[in-house]
């Protein structure tokens, strides 16, 4: 038996096995208080949805070793001080996160491998080929031979379905297979101590939820809001050394490094009264490398998100700053998901505020890392399919605005819109607004859209160290009209005394050519 180190160090990025993490002495943010809540409650069935890379697999692994009675692994953690008797239960850990399930037979291979191990462990001779029946035999025999009811842990219960949204035949095949497995949760209830399922969302039309009408969905539960991810308090307690190294490398104060981490990786919230949560994957990577990068985005966007966002025909700015009721977020039709609910469940939107009187959530993008990844992902759907040209145009726009060359910047912006893909239905003002909105945020300067003044709303301001730009973009009107509006409504009045050079830019966008047609530029107080 390996001794657990008393001093924890190292970040174990991607490590999902609790035993390995503890024996190596890697930093572990103690979540065992939630295990205590679970075992002390009367619920037999649990479901938890969280975005990818948020620690669901590690939590299930922690549950596994807890129910296996491995007390030595929990030395010094919360659960070790609760008086739990550390009885050993038979644990069936069904990990569906090990394959992509792009073709028939993949799920069967995973199930056959797991079931064969359990059948050997409990001395069961395989006499049926039906996986649902095999699972039933394993559950009942494990209970009978150990005298303890079974604990069933299912990691990414929906993974085989998510990978086959565009393959109807495979989708239905896997849905039938999973239904036969999950039906045992109800039919074998007398043999079960606990069932805990995790996934990205609680998908409708999957029998596990209709069969188990008493399942405890803790996804939005205030008591379990912090079960995955890392809170501000946990960050400060567990990662002081890593924060200090980041601060030293970036030549920041300790508090300055904290603010940088918060802007980039904090901002998730999963319940009405929940804390703000840091993305654990990104945070651990930032600690390990002492660098602020887009770690979560680099792990890829789920296929289901990509397919749903192709159908978005709404105002993106409104979509990313939307209001909804909790019921709107709790169930998804896999074959026709609502974009806002899907964006929430996959981590691209999160709860920003709970409006108690209206019983509504205000949703928004969690942080800078997610914003950059989401906008960059959407960009190819509004410009030509080649990523090279739009990205080069964006860099040119940034450089030219930064160095006070607005005419060159507008030419680069014109080239950007010239790359609009005609298939993207860029034929009305709403779709133009979507592309324009994405562009301004991808630029990454101090850009703001729809800036309100006492006389109206400015389409766009761009704020750099040495220059400030006020831009009015007219749809099917002349650049002269756009510039005249800036002057007549005195949009520049708040910047009359600004020490920087301030430029007024009126531009026109044509619905016929789907491009910026022209622009007029004047300097304020030349």
How far is Cα 138 from Cα 119, in angstroms, rounded to an integer? 6
Note the pLDDT of residue 306: 64
* Domain range 382-523, CATH class: alpha beta
Q: Is the pLDDT at 337 greater than 90, yes or no? A: no
User: pLDDT band at residue 5, thresholds of 50, 70 and 90?
Assistant: confident
Note the pLDDT of residue 473: 85
User: pLDDT band at residue 382, thresholds of 50, 70 and 90?
Assistant: low
What is the residue whose two structure tokens read 């991808």? 442
**Higher-confidence residue: 159 or 128?**
159
Q: How many CB atoms lie within 10 A of CB 237?
A: 12
274: left (phi over 0), alpha (psi -120 to 50) or beta: beta
Q: Is the pLDDT at 431 greater than 70, yes or no? A: no
CB 319 within 8 A of CB 305: no
Note the pLDDT of residue 310: 62
Q: Is the pLDDT at 128 greater than 80, yes or no? A: no
Find the Cα–Cα–Cα–Cα dihedral 136, 142, 145, 148, rounded to 10°: -120
Q: Is the pLDDT at 141 greater than 90, yes or no? A: yes
Question: Minimal CA–CA distance to 158: which of 215, 109, 206?
Answer: 206
Q: What tens digit of pLDDT does each residue of 195-209 get?
A: 999 988 777 666 666
| Lowest-confidence region among 342-356, 366-380, 483-497 | 366-380
pTM: 0.82
Note the pLDDT of residue 387: 41
| Lowest-confidence region among 115-124, 223-232, 349-358, 456-465 | 456-465
Note the pLDDT of residue 388: 42
Note the pLDDT of residue 50: 94
Note the pLDDT of residue 345: 86
Q: Is the pLDDT at 458 greater than 90, yes or no? A: no
**Higher-confidence residue: 404 or 9?**
404
Residues 190, 194, 200, 202, CA torsion sign: positive
- Where does CATH 3.40.1350 sit in the chain? 382-523
Residue partners of 184: CB distance under 8 A and separation at least 6? 132, 135, 136, 139
Question: Minimal CA–CA distance to 368: which of 260, 225, 236?
Answer: 260
Q: Is the pLDDT at 3 greater than 50, yes or no? A: yes
Query: Which superfamily does 18-224 belong to?
Result: P-loop containing nucleotide triphosphate hydrolases (3.40.50.300)
Percent of residues, the chain, with pLDDT higher than 70: 86
- Where does CATH 3.40.50.300 sit in the chain? 18-224
Mean pLDDT of the chain: 86
Coil, strand or helix at 473: strand
Tokens read off for 320: 């990313």
Note the pLDDT of residue 102: 85
Q: What tens digit of pLDDT does each residue of 268-287 get?
A: 999 998 889 999 999 999 99
Buried b (16+ CB within 10 A) or exposed e, 480-516: eebbebbeebebbeebeeeeebbbbbbbbbeeeebbb
Average pLDDT over residues 242-262: 95
Q: Is the pLDDT at 56 greater than 50, yes or no? A: yes
How far is Cα 13 from Cα 29, in angstroms, rounded to an integer? 13
How far is Cα 470 from Cα 57, in angstroms, rounded to an integer? 49
How far is Cα 134 from Cα 184, in angstroms, rounded to an integer? 10
Q: How many CB atoms lie within 10 A of CB 475?
A: 14
Note the pLDDT of residue 444: 66
Q: What tens digit of pLDDT does each residue of 85-98 get?
A: 999 999 999 999 88
User: pLDDT band at residue 455, thresholds of 50, 70 and 90?
Assistant: low
Note the pLDDT of residue 386: 40
CA angle, corner 519, sides to 515 and 522, nearest 5?
A: 155
Question: Minimal CA–CA distance to 63: which of 120, 98, 115, 19?
Answer: 19
Note the pLDDT of residue 515: 79
Q: How many CA atoms lie within 13 A of 161 on its CB side?
A: 22
Note the pLDDT of residue 453: 62
Tokens read off for 136: 């039933």
């Amino acid at each position: 038996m390996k001794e657990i180190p008393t001093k924890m160090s190292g970040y174990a990025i991607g490590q999902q096995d609790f035993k390995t993490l503890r024996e190596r002495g890697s930093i572990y943010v103690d979540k065992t208080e939630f295990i205590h809540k679970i075992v002390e409650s009367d619920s037999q069935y649990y479901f938890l949805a969280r975005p990818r890379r948020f620690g669901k697999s590690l939590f299930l692994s922690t549950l596994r070793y807890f129910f296996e009675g491995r007390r030595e692994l929990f030395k010094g953690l919360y659960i070790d001080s609760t008086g739990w008797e550390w009885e050993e239960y038979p644990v069936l850990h069904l990990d569906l996160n090990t394959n992509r399930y792009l073709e028939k037979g993949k799920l069967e291979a995973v199930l056959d491998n797991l079931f064969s191990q359990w059948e050997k462990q409990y001395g069961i001779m395989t006499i049926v080929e039906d996986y649902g029946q095999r699972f039933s035999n394993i559950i009942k025999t494990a209970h009978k031979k150990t005298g303890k009811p079974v604990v069933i842990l299912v990691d990414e219960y929906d993974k085989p379905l998510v990978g086959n949204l565009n393959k109807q035949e495979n989708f239905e095949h896997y849905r039938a297979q999973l239904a036969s497995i999950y039906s045992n949760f109800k039919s074998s209830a007398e043999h079960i101590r606990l069932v805990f399922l995790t996934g990205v969302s609680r998908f409708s039309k999957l029998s596990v939820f209709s069969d188990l009408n008493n399942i405890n969905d803790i996804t939005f539960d205030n008591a379990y809001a912090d079960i995955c991810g890392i809170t501000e308090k946990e960050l400060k307690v567990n990662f002081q050394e890593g924060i200090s190294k980041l601060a030293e490398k970036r030549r920041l104060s300790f508090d300055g490094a904290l603010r940088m981490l918060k802007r980039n990786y904090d901002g998730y919230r999963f319940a009405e009264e929940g804390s703000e949560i840091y993305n654990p994957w990104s945070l651990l990577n930032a600690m390990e490398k002492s660098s602020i990068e887009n770690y979560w985005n680099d792990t890829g966007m789920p296929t289901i998100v990509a397919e749903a966002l192709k159908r978005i025909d709404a105002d993106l700015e409104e979509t990313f700053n939307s209001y909804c009721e909790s019921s709107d977020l709790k169930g998804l039709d896999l074959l026709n998901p609502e974009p806002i609910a899907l964006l929430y469940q996959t981590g691209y939107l999160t709860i920003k505020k709970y409006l108690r009187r209206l019983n509504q959530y205000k949703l928004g993008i969690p942080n800078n890392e997610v914003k950059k990844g989401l906008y960059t992902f959407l960009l190819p759907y509004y410009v030509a399919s080649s990523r090279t040209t739009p990205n080069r145009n964006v860099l040119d726009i940034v450089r030219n605005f930064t160095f006070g060359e607005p005419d060159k910047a507008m030419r680069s912006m014109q080239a950007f819109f010239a790359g609009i893909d005609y298939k993207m239905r860029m034929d009305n003002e709403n779709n133009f607004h979507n592309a324009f909105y994405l562009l301004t945020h991808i630029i990454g300067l101090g850009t703001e859209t729809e800036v309100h003044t006492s006389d109206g709303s400015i389409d766009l301001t761009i704020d750099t160290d040495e220059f400030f730009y006020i831009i009015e973009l007219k749809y099917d009107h002349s650049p002269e009209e756009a510039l005249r509006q800036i002057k007549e409504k005195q949009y520049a009045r708040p910047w009359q005394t600004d020490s920087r050079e301030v430029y007024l830019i009126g531009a026109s966008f044509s619905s016929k050519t789907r491009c910026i047609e022209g622009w007029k530029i004047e300097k304020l107080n030349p």
